Amino acid sequence: MSGKPRLTYLNGRGRMESIRWLLAAAGVEFEEVYLETKEQYDKLIKDGFLLFQQVPLVEIDGMKMVQTRAIMSYIAGKYNLHGKDLKERALIDMYVEGISDLMQMILMFPFSPPDAKEKNLESIKERATNRYFPVFEKVLKQHGQDFLVGNKFSWADVQLIEAILAVEEKVPAILSGFPQLQVFKTKMSNMPTIKKFLQPGSPRKPPPDAHYVETVLKVFKK
């Protein structure tokens, strides 16, 4: 039997958070190793754990997986969250990639210089409101189903609920023009595995703070 997947990253969201969400949504328990010092990170590299010298790293099913997308595709495929055929997979991939572009803006936000923060926040709000959320609002409205693709819970739904909550932390009223997404948010939040992940004490990480930014800069210093 395989052991639980083991995640190596900093003790914070970053690029690992979407992986935590997906594992949690699939009902998969996992372990975590937190990088706190540059020495720890250098040792991982020296010991050959990191294919491209980068984290996230997820040890799963005998593999040392790196590259966030590769990891998530594997998890989605393994736990039947990647659609029933190639066309559903294509839709899920398109949706996930779009959301991921939005999440990338949020990922980089804590590292913006202080004088750029307001502008970047405005960009996040603008993109969410004009480019990304309208797409999913329309998808849900048109088919009237609970889930984005194939009337079945998938990776796309997990990625979207994660993004909605992440944007709401920055722009609380962001869903005010999106009634379908409001309903979606409630439905997804009430799915048993997601509900559990949203409760205190789960592996979900809090929004990045100054300490997290400091740790990132320290661990990955050249």
Partner 1 sequence: MCAKPKLYYFDGRGKMESIRWLLAAAGVEFEEEFLETRDQYEKLLQGGSLLFQQVPMVEIDGMRMVQTRAILSYIAAKYNLYGKDLKERALIDMYVGGTDDLMGFILMFPFLSAEDKEKQRAFIVQKATSRYFPVYEKVLKDHGQDFLVGNNFSWADVHLLEAILMVEEKKADVLSGFPQLQAFKARISSIPAIKKFLEPGSQRKPVPDDKYVETVRRVLLMYYDVKAN
Q: Which residues bind partner 1 (CB under 8 A)?
A: 51-53, 61, 63, 65-70, 73-74, 77-78, 86-87, 89-90, 93-94, 96-98, 101, 131-132, 135
C-alpha count within 13 angstroms, C-beta hemisphere, residue 187: 16
Q: Which has the closest alpha carbon to 162: 1, 16, 10, 18?
A: 18
Write down the least CB distance from residue 77 to partner 1, Å: 5
Pick between residue 58 and residue 194 the one whose CB is nearest to partner 1.
Answer: 58
CB under 8 Å to 91, separation ≥6 — which residues?
83, 148, 149, 150, 156
Write down the least CB distance from residue 138 to partner 1, Å: 10
Write down the least CB distance from residue 119 to partner 1, Å: 12
Cβ burial of 100 (10 Å; 0-12, 13-18, 19+) is middle
Pick between residue 48 and residue 172 the one whose CB is nearest to partner 1.
Answer: 48
Beta bridge partners of 149: 152
Pick between residue 164 and residue 194 the one whose CB is nearest to partner 1.
Answer: 164
Pick between residue 65 and residue 161 the one whose CB is nearest to partner 1.
Answer: 65
Q: Are 154 and 90 in contact (CB under 8 A)?
A: no
Write down the least CB distance from residue 213 to partner 1, Å: 20
